[in-house]
Amino acid sequence: MTAEEEARRLDAEDPLPTLRGEFLVPPAPGGRYAEAAYLAGNSLGLQPRSVAGRLREELDDWARLAVEAHTRGRRPWVDYHELLREPAARLVGALPHEVVAMNSLTVNLHLMMASFYRPAGERTRIVIEDSAFPSDSYAVASQAVHHGLDPAETVVRLKPRPGEDNLRTEDVVAFLEREGGTVALVMLGGVNYLTGQLMDMPAITKAGRAAGAVVGWDLAHAAGNVPLRLHDWDVDFAAWCTYKYLNGGPGAVAGCFVHERHVRDASVPKLAGWWGTDPAVRFRMDPDIAPPASADAWQLSNPPILALAPVLASLEIFDRVGMDALRAKSERLTGYLASRLAGIGARVLTPPDPAARGAQLSVRVEDAGGAVRRLAEEHGVIADAREPDVVRFAPAPLYCTFHDCHRVAEALAALG
């Protein structure tokens, strides 16, 4: 049996058949394969076929009803975001009143830090990982400046041990035990965007909170990728985008989690806007806000309906399949790809332990940008580059297949 035949056999026999047919997959050049092997869902997820119909329905309601669609539409706009609440809560392991769909990821992180980063006395530092996504680095540095602090002294960038690519949980915990009295906020990425490392969120959250710090998570690469239990882990807050593994479309409306103990605490300061007042009194137009005891209290403006519709369509798919089943398939796909990459001698940065990684393998390749262009143009394999020498492959389990992973290994071997 050839390697390609083996990959097709694995696809045919997998306990969770691919849902690829429910997504629009870009064509592949060259004619050998009709569709691309799309492993860039950690950058932008594919479009669900159901999205176009959902958008047409909202456009039709706008055309037929105009402003009255806020209350008379098929899915009335005035409380449209409520439709996303329960599926989003199930996705991230939260209580429904702890989550809200709003804004973009970095806006939500700033709103969370406005409430929960409260430097005082010696407790001023913010802990992130050294390889954090740049937006997180910019955000925490600007928060330090906003409080009159020097980012060079305030922001702690945790680095792996010399010669290693990933943080060790015991090193993060040891730092918090040793220096936690100076830490106001721990805000790491749940899955590191560069290496694909899945952080031990329960252990780090426990250590951070034991040290007296607030613990928040950037779940841009974790939501829709790995099972989450934010409420049970006692996370203070979290935020995530929905255009990567969640397939919500470019720049889609993000999500936010605030633990129940905070949403019920009226003393927590927050930046306010119209949509953050209790909907029961919102249209009385009172000058004083009456925030509800939910994550909705952090909303600022009414949400963009045409941007929420694709997110809702995608969340319905996740709800139908379930994160546990998707995670199991993700481990099978990523494990198969890891074995194929090992067979061609690829230099993989991502942890080898399946429990310590999400649906991503990062490979060191000289001239990463040029390699990604050749992969796409010559082999129909779509991945993404992080200069100067990292190519990221994300076998998203909703639509990627073992055969896609086979094509990645064959294409990388052909690059030489």
Please say which residue of 319, 340, 357 terminates a domain.
319
Residue where the block lists tokens 């060191």: 364
Question: How high is the pLDDT of residue 29?
Answer: 84
CA distance 110 to 258: 13
CA distance 174 to 30: 53
**What is the rounded average pLDDT of the residues 55-84?**
97
Mean pLDDT for all residues in the chain: 97
pLDDT in tens, 262-297: 999 999 999 999 999 999 999 899 999 999 999 999
pLDDT in tens, 22-40: 999 999 987 789 999 999 9
CA distance 45 to 244: 5
Cβ-based neighbours of 296, under 8 Å, separated by 6 or more: 97, 100, 275, 276, 279
Same domain membership, residue 212 and residue 199: yes
pLDDT in tens, 321-343: 999 999 999 999 999 999 999 99
Question: How high is the pLDDT of residue 30?
Answer: 73
For residue 225, is it within any domain? yes
Question: How wide is the angle at C-alpha 251 spanned by C-alphas 246 and 255, nearest 5°?
Answer: 55
Distances (CA, A) of 10 to 2, 231, 243: 12, 36, 28
For residue 67, is it within any domain? no
Same domain membership, residue 147 and residue 21: no
Known binding residues for pyridoxal 5'-phosphate: 105-106, 133-136, 218, 221, 243, 274, 302
Q: Over pLDDT 70: what percentage of the chain?
A: 100
Question: How high is the pLDDT of residue 43?
Answer: 97
pLDDT in tens, 215-235: 999 999 999 999 999 999 999
Whether the pLDDT of residue 416 is over 80: the answer is no
Question: How high is the pLDDT of residue 1?
Answer: 86
pLDDT in tens, 351-363: 999 999 999 999 9
pLDDT in tens, 338-352: 999 999 999 999 999
Same domain membership, residue 32 and residue 91: no
Known binding residues: 105-106, 133-136, 218, 221, 243, 274, 302
CA distance 299 to 274: 8
Same domain membership, residue 291 and residue 336: no
Cβ-based neighbours of 198, under 8 Å, separated by 6 or more: 190, 191, 222, 226, 351, 355, 356, 357, 358
Question: How high is the pLDDT of residue 182?
Answer: 98
Give me the sign of the Cα torsion angle 82, 86, 89, 94: positive
How many domains does one find in the chain?
Answer: 2
Same domain membership, residue 242 and residue 181: yes
Same domain membership, residue 362 and residue 273: no
Give pTM, 2 decimals. Answer: 0.96
Same domain membership, residue 300 and residue 208: yes
